Chains A and B, each alone.
Chain A
Amino acid sequence: MSDSNDNVGIVIVSHSPDVARGVADMVAQMVGIEVKVAWCGGNVDGGLGTHVPAILEAIDKAWTPRGVAILVDLGGAQTNAEMAIEMLAEDRQGLVVVCEAPIVEGAIFAATEAAGGADLAAVRAEAEALRAP
């Protein structure tokens, strides 16, 4: 079994903490401890929403030298995730990507690919291949 630091990490960003946690659980069931998975969801007041500080924290938790792939649900999650990437230290910015993919299936496909040791571009491509034509 490879060490989780050898594989791309996965971050789940949903407007709902329940959705984010649930997706992370489903991912963990597939890849166990081979892939670092972190999630965040909800706004600062505990309501539905997404916000940058929580995304930064999740990226930090899932960080590996191979990079991090982020899966998001709706528009604000994507905008906030992209903003968070811009706020990372410069040497990390190029190693974190937002996948344009359905959050549940995308996270599972991305994590499965990551568990096999694929690089960040391949992990993202695997998730994004799920997009509706």
Chain B
Amino acid sequence: MTDTASTPLSTDALKAAVRAMAVAIIDHTEELSRLDQAIGDGDHGLNMKRGFEAILAKLDGSADAPPALLKSIGTTLVMTVGGASGPLYGSLALAMGKALGDQPLTLACAADLLDAGIQSVMSRGRSQAGEKTMLDTLVPVLAVVRAGGADLGDRVKAAAAAGAAATVPLRASKGRASFLGERSIGHMDPGARSSQLLIEALCDALSKDPAP
């Protein structure tokens, strides 16, 4: 995390964080697919891997400032991931880029960006927290980011892990897992897990590189 809430995150630091998030997804391809095989169609790992590989391929040569970078990431996810997660994660990044606009990217605006992203996911998926989806990770994370305070990175990671774990006993009411009814209970939602991985990687990357 940056030292102060108003220190802008540099484009290079954002790119390093995105790279770390991509690596986290790619490294967990099999786990995500396994989770999705249990309650879905089993393609979440490969779909996300394809999307984040496409992001990595574009990232190095990109001269985009943070808002354009978020837009480009969102568009890449929409166009390459497929499944429901492509439009959902794509909408998340697109909405964050739009909410950022011309402001500098700072910790102070992080909650507003995430909030805009979450609203977009809710609207695209016609869903809310408690339905065994990525929102069960993202919504509790937003509450922690919004509250701010010391050791924010660690508390955000803890909220993401708790949110993903909390999907295990839930019965799915959205997506293909909802077809399983009661049998969706007892499995972690793959989207909640991929969101946790992304947030952990983001927090770790930002704590490693506090310099603007």
Task: Please encode chain B, from 94 to 131, with 1 for each CB lying within 8 Å of some chain A CB and 0 for all others.
Answer: 00000000000000000000000000000011000000
Interface of A (DSSP majority class) = loop
**Is B176 touching A79 in the complex (CB atoms < 8 A)?**
no
Bound complex: CA A15 to CA B46 (Å): 15
8 Å CB contact of A48 from B41, B84, B86, B175: B41
Residues from chain A with a CB closer than 8 A to the CB of B88 are: 79
**Is A43 touching B124 in the complex (CB atoms < 8 A)?**
no
Bound complex: CA A79 to CA B84 (Å): 6
Bound complex: CA A43 to CA B90 (Å): 16
Question: Known contacts being A44-B50, A87-B78, is A51 close to B176, with CB within 8 Å?
Answer: no
Residues from chain B with a CB closer than 8 A to the CB of A15 are: 41
Residues from chain A with a CB closer than 8 A to the CB of B78 are: 52, 83, 87
Task: Judge whether B143 is part of the interface by a CB distance below 8 angstroms.
Answer: no
Task: Please encode chain A, from 52 to 88, with 1 for each CB lying within 8 Å of some chain B CB and 0 for all others.
Answer: 1100000000000000000000111001101100010
Question: Known contacts being A79-B125, A83-B91, is A44 close to B84, with CB within 8 Å?
Answer: no
Task: Please encode chain B, from 66 to 85, with 1 for each CB lying within 8 Å of some chain A CB and 0 for all others.
Answer: 00000000000011111110
**Is B87 touching A47 in the complex (CB atoms < 8 A)?**
no
Bound complex: CA A87 to CA B82 (Å): 15
Question: Known contacts being A43-B43, A45-B50, A79-B125, is A51 close to B90, with CB within 8 Å?
Answer: no
- Using CB atoms, name the residue of chain A closest to B177: A75
**Is A79 touching B124 in the complex (CB atoms < 8 A)?**
yes
**Is A52 touching B43 in the complex (CB atoms < 8 A)?**
no
Q: How many chain A residues have a CB neighbour from B under 8 Å? A: 19
B14 to chain A, nearest CB (A): 24
A45 to chain B, nearest CB (A): 7
Bound complex: CA A49 to CA B91 (Å): 19
Task: Judge whether A50 is part of the interface by a CB distance below 8 angstroms.
Answer: yes
Question: Known contacts being A44-B80, A75-B176, is A51 close to B86, with CB within 8 Å?
Answer: yes
8 Å CB contact of A83 from B124, B174, B176: B124
Task: Judge whether B137 is part of the interface by a CB distance below 8 angstroms.
Answer: no
Bound complex: CA A53 to CA B56 (Å): 20
Bound complex: CA A15 to CA B50 (Å): 17
Residues from chain B with a CB closer than 8 A to the CB of A76 are: 41, 82-84, 176
Bound complex: CA A80 to CA B83 (Å): 7
**Is B124 touching A49 in the complex (CB atoms < 8 A)?**
no
8 Å CB contact of B82 from A51, A74, A75: A51
Which residues does B use to contact A, with CB under 8 Å? 41, 43, 46-47, 50, 78-84, 86-88, 90-91, 124-125, 174-176
Q: List 9 A-B contacts (CB under 8 A).
A: A43-B83, A47-B46, A50-B82, A51-B86, A53-B79, A76-B83, A79-B87, A83-B87, A87-B78
